[in-house]
């Protein structure tokens, strides 16, 4: 479950054209100090550990939702619900109790920090010159939960939205970001090539889909190596290949699938069209039939994630005031993807990353690794960042 702090300004015009740096620093440090106090810090850790021990699959986050609603009730914060439906190898006391399920991307930490921000904001609600929405989104990992929230009008009349995602390559407590494209747009495909099965001793009597699929897999890689400008970014990756069960039998059908990615919408369209064309034509060369499913009901593709320039700059001002310029890092462009990009296609948006890297704690393992671990010392920074940005953004606008 990936959490977003969503800001929507009501019809209140601030008398300030710019938030004074001294005021922002004072506010940020005050919020950080409050977030680091034992009571709030331990509360965030307890929430995170409870969620981590009981991970749930996309659109099945029933217990997680119940916990969030319980905490919001205790804070006196109103909410809309439901929206969009609703294996671990770490040696840790609070590791997952559900076999085969794990929070290996930090979404449990995002819940805890956003609830921490809610607590900070609720205590300062008289300072807010607008409305702050806290979005607890289901189904981020491959289920496009953000798309479904938009479709159900949960984000109408919104001026800006930010996301804070933990990252194990950035030192604990540092925050990183950049303006412009930061994550690739991505699509998935499933190709099926159908031929004529037969005995391996008589290949001339069959139409071999394995040969056709193998040629197709090689040809698809040449989209990047021979058709894409070397100065532009693109990816075509085949992740699985299924066909046949016996070594002496040529199967009737082969299925394979993968992902394609680009940093432009035009690039995504080109890759999609060429994948379809190559699968169909290579199959035909081998006297087979090929077809491609782009899993558009998921929905796919996800848009390119583009950080709004003004929102990014405001966020970096908050980071500098909160933890100092030395802990403001650059978020390097990656071909990874994030369904938060659906929000960025609808309104000004920016995604920031919060460092959790602590070699001593082994919290430097990659996202989605079964060894993924989080340095919880980053929590106060995340909660305070959310709260400080919300208050100052609404003041400025």
Buried b (16+ CB within 10 A) or exposed e, 84-108: bbbebebeeeebbeeeeebbbbbbb
Do β-strands 185-194 and 253-262 pair in parallel, antiparallel, or remain unpaired? Answer: antiparallel
Residue count of the chain, please give it.
397
- Please state the φ and ψ torsions of residue 297, each to the nearest 5 degrees: -75, -10
Return the biggest CA–CA distance within the chain.
Answer: 84
Contact 387, 181 (CB under 8 A): no
Strand, helix or coil at 241?
strand
**Does 288 belong to an annotated binding site?**
no
Task: Write the DSSP symbol of residue 247.
Answer: T
Contact 310, 295 (CB under 8 A): no
Cβ neighbours around 223 below 10 Å, total? 19
Q: Which two tokens stand for residue 39?
A: 């009571």
Interatomic CA distance for residues 36 and 32, integer angstroms: 6
**Does 141 belong to an annotated binding site?**
yes
Helices (H), the chain: 21-36, 38-53, 62-75, 107-122, 145-151, 209-222, 265-285, 309-323, 341-344, 379-396
Residue whose tokens read 């100052």: 392
Peptide bond before 82: cis, by omega within 30 degrees of 0? Answer: yes
**Does 199 belong to an annotated binding site?**
no
Q: Which long-range contacts (CB under 8 A, 24 or more apart) does 149-152 make?
A: 149/83, 149/84, 150/342, 150/343, 150/346, 151/84, 152/83, 152/84
Binding residues: 105, 107, 141, 165, 368
Binding residues for Mn(2+): 105, 107, 141, 165, 368
């Amino acid at each position: 479950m990936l959490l977003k702090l969503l800001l929507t300004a009501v019809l209140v015009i601030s008398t300030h054209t710019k938030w004074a740096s001294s005021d922002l620093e004072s506010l940020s440090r005050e919020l950080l100090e409050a977030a680091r106090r034992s009571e709030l810090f331990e509360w965030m850790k307890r929430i995170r550990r409870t969620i981590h021990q009981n991970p749930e699959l996309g659109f099945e986050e029933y217990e997680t939702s119940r916990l969030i609603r319980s905490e919001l009730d205790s804070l006196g914060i109103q909410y809309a619900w439901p929206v969009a439906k609703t294996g671990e190898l770490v040696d840790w006391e609070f590791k997952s109790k559900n076999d085969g399920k794990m929070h290996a991307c930090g979404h449990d930490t995002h819940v805890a920090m956003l609830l921490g921000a809610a607590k900070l904001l609720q205590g300062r609600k008289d300072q807010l010159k607008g409305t702050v929405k806290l979005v607890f989104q289901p189904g981020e990992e491959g289920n496009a939960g953000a798309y479904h929230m938009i479709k159900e009008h949960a984000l109408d009349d919104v001026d800006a939205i930010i996301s804070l995602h933990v990252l194990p390559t950035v030192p604990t407590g540092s925050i990183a970001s950049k303006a412009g494209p930061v994550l690739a747009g991505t699509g998935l495909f499933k190709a099926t090539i159908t031929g004529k099965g037969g005995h391996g001793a008589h290949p001339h009597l069959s139409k071999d889909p394995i040969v056709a699929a193998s040629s197709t897999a090689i040809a698809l890689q040449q989209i990047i190596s021979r058709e894409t400008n070397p100065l532009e970014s693109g990816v075509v990756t085949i992740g699985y290949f299924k066909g046949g069960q016996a070594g002496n039998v040529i199967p009737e059908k082969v299925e394979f699938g993968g992902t394609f990615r680009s940093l432009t919408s035009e690039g995504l369209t080109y890759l999609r069209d060429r994948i379809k064309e190559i699968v169909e034509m290579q199959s035909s060369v081998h006297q087979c039939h090929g077809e491609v499913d782009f899993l558009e009901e998921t929905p796919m593709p996800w848009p390119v994630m583009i950080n709004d320039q003004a929102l990014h700059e405001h966020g970096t001002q908050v980071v500098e005031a909160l933890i100092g310029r030395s802990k403001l890092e650059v978020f390097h462009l990656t071909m990874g993807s994030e369904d938060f990009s659906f929000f960025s296609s609808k309104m000004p948006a920016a995604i920031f990353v919060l460092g959790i890297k602590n070699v001593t704690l082994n919290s430097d393992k990659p996202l989605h690794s079964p060894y993924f671990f989080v340095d919880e010392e980053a929590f106060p920074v995340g909660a305070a960042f959310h709260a400080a940005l919300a208050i100052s953004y609404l003041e400025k606008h």
